[in-house]
Amino acid sequence: GHLALFIDKWRELTSDAVILQAVEGFKIPFTSLPPPRPLLREPAFSAADSAYCDEIVRLLQKGALTKVAPFEDQFLSSFFLIKKSSGGMRFILNLSDLNLYITPPHFKLEDWRTVIRFMLPNFKMASVDVEDAYMLVPSTSRMDR
């Protein structure tokens, strides 16, 4: 994640430990390590399922996915695609089983109605596309597996 390259600037902006830890490298808050789940089933894509292969290639090229060699205590999750309203496909990694071993911090994504209540006259606003924002936050290589 590129955010770690700017940790000094982030320290100038905030002293919030949660924010700085995320910028330096997010660590998933496991309550316990999940048991190995080495193989769900070998994916088999037909020519009709080329959308799956296309999406995997696209995510590999942009660095959102990384190919790793199999290892003994790996935990695999299934995935699927859903159609976006824009016409493309959205890759969904099903982490519901992994989430059983995690205590996530509280997080609430505010919507535009909340933001409007905080606006004052002459405020400057911007809209940010956060489609690939998760790629900016570094994680430990152990978690990537």
Phi, psi dihedral angles at 121 (to 5 degrees): -55, 140
User: HEC profile for the chain?
Assistant: CHHHHHHHHHHHHCCCHHHHHHHHHECCCECCCCCCECCCCCCCCCHHHHHHHHHHHHHHHHCCCCCCCCCCCCECCCEEEEECCCCCEEEEECCHHHHCCECCCCCCCCCHHHHHHHCCCCCCCCCCCCCCHHHHCCECHHHHC
Instruction: Specify the pTM.
Output: 0.66
Q: What is the pLDDT of residue 33?
A: 87
Q: Is the dihedral of CA 24, 20, 27, 84 positive or negative?
A: negative
Q: What is the pLDDT of residue 96?
A: 92
Domain boundaries, the chain: 31-105
Instruction: Give yes or no for a contact between 74 and 145, defined as CB atoms under 8 angstroms apart.
Output: yes
Q: What is the pLDDT of residue 143?
A: 56
Q: pLDDT tens, position by position, for the chain (145 residues)?
A: 778 888 999 999 999 998 898 888 878 888 998 988 866 666 666 666 788 888 889 889 988 888 888 888 888 888 889 988 888 888 899 999 999 999 887 878 788 888 888 888 888 877 777 777 777 777 765 555 5
Q: What is the pLDDT of residue 12?
A: 94
